[in-house]
C-alpha cells in the first residue's frame, strides 16, 4: 500500500476543520467547484493517472480560498453510466477518512478544507489527496478496474467544466421524470449518512430523490446490484397503506429496523405526518410558518435570514441528525419536480416562500397558477411582508385562513360571551409556535379568567405525568 503523510480511517468521518485551522479552503459557499464521476470505456482511462489544471497546494496562499473541481474517469467490465452518481457520492465518504481533511456536500455544493497540520506533516500536493482517493475507490469498489483523476484549481477552467457538469447532473435527474412510485415494486435505501445520523432512514423512490440530491432510484438500483454489500440496498415496497401520503409497509419495516425502533412509520410525501427523516446532507430545508399556515424552503447557498427569523444553518441544525422533525423537512432539489411533492399537505399550494436563487432554479417546474404567488426575500423578508404579499397575490392559503377564522368566529359565538372587560388577546401574528402545524387555527379563547387553547393536528410530547389525589383540607 502506498504511503501517505496523513492517517486514513473511517474514524475521521465527521471531523470538522474550522476557520483559522485550515491551510486552504477549496470550493465552498464563497467560491465555486464540483465533483463528477464519468463512466468510460477502458481505452479512455489511464489507470492511476493524475492531472492538475491550475495551482497546486505549494503555490497557494496560506488561509486562501480557491475554486476546485474533481473529475474521476472510471472503467471496468461492470461499470455503466448508472453507477456514476453512486461512485461520485463515495468521494465524500472516502475523502473524509483522511485525518485533517474536511469534505462537505456533493455535486456543485462541495466544500473542502485542508488542515494546517496536514501540510505540517508533509502534505505537499493535491496529487497525494487524489492518489489516496483513487486507492480507496479501487479497494472499496472492486468493480472499478481503472481510475484516473483530473483536479482543477484554475478558476476559468472550473467555470467552463462546471457548466458541462451541470448539464450531466440535469440529464441524470431527468431520467426519473416518467417513472413513478406505483410503477415499481422496489425502492432503495442508503446507509451512508448513518455514520453521523444513526437513526436516519434514507428511502429513494422514483418520485423522491435522495435528500443529498445525488442519488436517484436508478442510481440506487445500479449500486445495490453491483455492490450488494455496500450502503445501498433494495426495499421491497410491500402494501401501500396511504397512496397520498406515500406510506408503505415495506418502508415502515425498514424504518423500524434502521432507526432501532425510533421511527416505525414514514410517509414519503408528507411534511407534517410521519415525515421522512432528515440526515444533514439535504440540499434544501423546508420550514413551517404557523403565522401564515404555509411552508418556506431555503437552500444551503442562501446566506440571509428566512422570514421565520432563522438562517439555513440554524434550521439545518434543528432538522438534521436523522430525526423525524414535524415542522422542518430536508429534501433534494429534484423532489420539487416530483408530481407527488408534499402532496399530503397540499403540494405547491402550501408553499409560500422560497429563497430567490432556489425559486429561479425550479421556476419552470412550479405550476403556473402558483408561481407568482410564492414570495422570495425580495418581496417578503419577514412575516409581516409575507402575509401582505400572500393576501395581495391571492395565494390559495389565504382562503384557508379565512375559512378557519370564520370557523373560529362561529365557535366563539356559540360560547357565552364575557361579562367583564378582558385584556386584549394575542392575535395570530403574535403567536409563535414554530413546530406545531395548523397553528393558524389557534387560539380559541373563551371565558374570562380562563383560557382554553385548542391544538388541532398537533403532536404533544409529555416527559412525565404525575397524578395526585387532592387531599381534602380539614378546617
Binding site for ligand SF4 (CB under 6 A): 89, 190, 192-193, 202, 210-212, 214-215, 279, 281
Give the start-end residues of each E strand in 40-124.
50-53, 64-66, 68-75, 101-104, 111-115
Euclidean distance between CA atoms 75 and 73, whole angstroms: 7
- Cβ proximity to ligand SF4: between 70 and 442 the closer is 70
CB 292 within 8 A of CB 400: no
8 Å CB contact between 281 and 193: yes
Q: Which is nearer to ligand SF4, 83 or 152 (CB)?
A: 83
Longest Cα–Cα distance in the chain: 100
Euclidean distance between CA atoms 444 and 49, whole angstroms? 70
Supply the minimum distance, in Å, between the C-beta of residue 337 and ligand SF4: 17
Q: CB neighbours (10 Å) of residue 165?
A: 20
Kindly tell me which of 210 and 343 has the beta carbon lying closer to ligand SF4: 210
Contacts of 93 (CB under 8 A, 6+ apart): 13, 192
Provide, rounded to whole angstroms, the least separation between the CB of residue 41 and ligand SF4. 28
CB of 192 to ligand SF4, least distance (A): 4
Nearer to ligand SF4, 70 or 279 (CB): 279
- Which residue number, 91 or 210, has a Cβ lying nearer to ligand SF4? 210
Minimum distance, C-beta of residue 84 to ligand SF4, in the bound complex (Å):
15
* Cβ–Cβ under 8 Å, residues 12 and 97: yes
Say if CB 70 and CB 162 are below 8 A apart. no
Cβ closest to ligand SF4, residue 191 vs residue 444: 191
Closest distance between ligand SF4 and the C-beta of residue 225, in Å? Answer: 16
Instruction: Please compute, for residue 444, the number of CA atoms within 13 A of its CA located in the half-sphere on the CB side.
Output: 19
On whether the CB atoms of residues 101 and 121 are closer than 8 A, the answer is no
Minimum Å gap between C-beta 83 and ligand SF4 is: 14
Specify the residue for cell string 401564515.
Answer: 292
Residue whose CB is less far from ligand SF4, 110 or 192 = 192
- Our CB check for ligand SF4 shows the closer of 259 and 441 to be 259
419 strand-pairing partners: none
Q: Could you tell me the smallest distance in angstroms from the CB atom of residue 219 to ligand SF4?
A: 9
Identify which of residues 89 and 300 has a Cβ nearer to ligand SF4 in the complex.
89
Half-sphere exposure of 95 (CA within 13 A, CB side): 25
Beta carbon of residue 81, minimum distance to ligand SF4 (angstroms, whole number): 18
Which residues are within 8 A (CB) of 213 and not within 5 positions of it... i.e. 6 or more apart? 106, 107, 283, 332, 333, 334
Q: What is the gyration radius of the CA atoms in the chain, in angstroms? A: 26
DSSP letter string, 403-415:
HHHHHHHHHHHHS
35 or 293: CB nearest ligand SF4: 35
Check residue 285 and report its DSSP letter: E
Which of 45/192 has CB closer to ligand SF4?
192
Exposed, middle or buried by CB within 10 Å (0-12, 13-18, 19+), for 427?
A: exposed
Considering the complex, what minimum distance in angstroms separates the CB of residue 73 from ligand SF4?
Answer: 22
Residue 458 to residue 435: CA distance in whole angstroms? 9
CB of 202 to ligand SF4, least distance (A): 3
* Gap between the Cα atoms of 133 and 139, Å rounded: 10
CB-neighbour burial class of residue 164 (10 A; exposed 0-12, middle 13-18, buried 19+) = exposed
C-alpha cell at 174: 431527468
- Least Cβ distance, residue 232 to ligand SF4 (angstroms): 8
Amino acid at each position: 500500500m502506498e504511503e501517505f503523510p496523513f492517517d486514513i480511517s473511517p474514524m475521521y468521518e465527521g471531523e470538522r476543520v474550522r476557520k483559522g485551522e485550515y491551510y486552504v479552503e477549496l470550493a465552498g459557499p464563497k467560491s465555486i467547484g464540483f465533483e463528477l464521476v464519468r463512466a468510460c470505456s477502458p481505452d479512455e482511462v489511464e489507470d492511476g493517472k493524475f492531472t492538475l489544471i491550475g495551482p497546486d497546494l505549494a503555490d497557494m496562499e496560506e488561509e486562501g480560498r480557491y475554486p476546485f473541481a474533481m473529475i474521476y474517469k472510471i472503467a471496468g467490465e461492470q461499470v455503466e453510466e448508472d453507477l456514476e452518481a453512486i461512485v461520485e457520492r463515495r468521494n465524500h465518504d472516502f475523502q473524509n477518512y483522511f485525518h485533517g481533511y474536511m469534505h462537505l456536500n456533493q455535486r456543485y455544493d462541495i466544500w473542502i478544507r485542508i488542515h494546517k497540520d496536514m501540510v505540517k506533516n508533509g502534505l505537499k500536493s493535491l496529487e497525494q489527496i487524489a492518489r489516496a482517493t483513487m486507492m480507496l475507490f479501487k479497494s472499496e469498489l472492486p468493480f472499478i478496474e481503472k481510475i484516473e483523476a483530473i483536479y482543477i484549481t484554475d478558476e476559468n477552467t472550473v467555470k467552463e467544466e462546471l457548466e458541462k457538469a451541470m448539464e450531466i447532473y440535469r440529464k441524470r435527474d431527468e431520467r426519473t421524470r416518467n417513472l413513478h412510485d406505483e410503477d415499481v415494486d422496489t425502492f432503495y435505501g442508503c446507509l451512508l449518512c448513518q455514520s453521523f445520523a444513526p437513526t436516519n432512514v434514507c428511502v429513494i423512490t422514483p418520485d423522491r430523490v435522495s435528500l443529498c440530491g445525488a442519488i436517484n432510484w436508478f442510481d440506487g438500483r445500479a449500486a445495490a446490484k453491483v455492490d450488494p454489500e455496500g450502503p445501498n440496498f433494495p426495499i421491497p415496497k410491500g402494501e401501500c397503506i396511504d397512496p397520498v401520503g406515500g406510506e408503505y409497509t415495506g418502508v415502515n419495516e425498514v424504518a423500524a429496523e434502521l432507526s432501532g425502533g425510533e421511527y416505525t412509520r414514514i410517509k414519503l410525501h408528507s411534511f407534517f405526518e410521519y415525515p421522512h427523516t432528515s440526515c444533514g446532507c439535504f440540499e434544501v430545508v423546508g420550514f413551517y410558518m404557523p403565522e401564515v399556515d404555509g411552508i418556506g424552503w431555503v437552500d444551503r447557498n442562501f446566506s440571509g435570514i428566512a422570514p421565520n427569523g432563522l438562517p439555513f444553518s440554524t434550521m439545518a441544525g434543528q432538522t438534521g441528525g436523522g430525526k423525524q422533525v414535524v415542522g422542518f423537512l430536508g429534501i433534494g432539489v429534484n423532489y420539487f419536480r416530483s408530481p407527488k411533492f408534499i402532496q399530503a399537505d397540499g403540494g405547491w399550494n402550501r408553499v409560500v416562500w422560497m429563497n430567490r436563487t432556489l425559486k429561479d432554479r425550479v421556476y419552470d417546474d412550479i405550476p403556473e397558477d402558483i408561481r407568482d404567488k410564492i414570495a422570495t426575500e425580495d418581496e417578503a423578508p419577514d412575516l409581516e411582508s409575507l402575509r401582505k404579499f400572500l393576501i395581495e397575490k391571492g395565494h390559495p392559503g389565504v382562503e384557508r385562513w379565512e375559512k378557519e377564522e370564520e370557523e373560529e368566529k362561529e365557535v366563539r359565538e356559540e360560547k357565552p360571551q364575557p361579562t367583564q372587560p378582558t385584556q386584549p388577546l394575542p392575535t395570530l401574528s403574535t403567536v409563535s409556535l414554530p413546530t406545531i402545524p395548523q397553528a393558524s387555527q389557534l387560539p380559541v379563547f373563551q371565558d374570562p379568567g380562563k383560557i382554553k387553547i385548542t391544538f388541532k393536528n398537533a403532536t404533544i410530547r409529555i416527559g412525565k405525568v404525575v397524578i395526585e389525589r387532592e387531599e381534602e383540607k380539614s378546617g
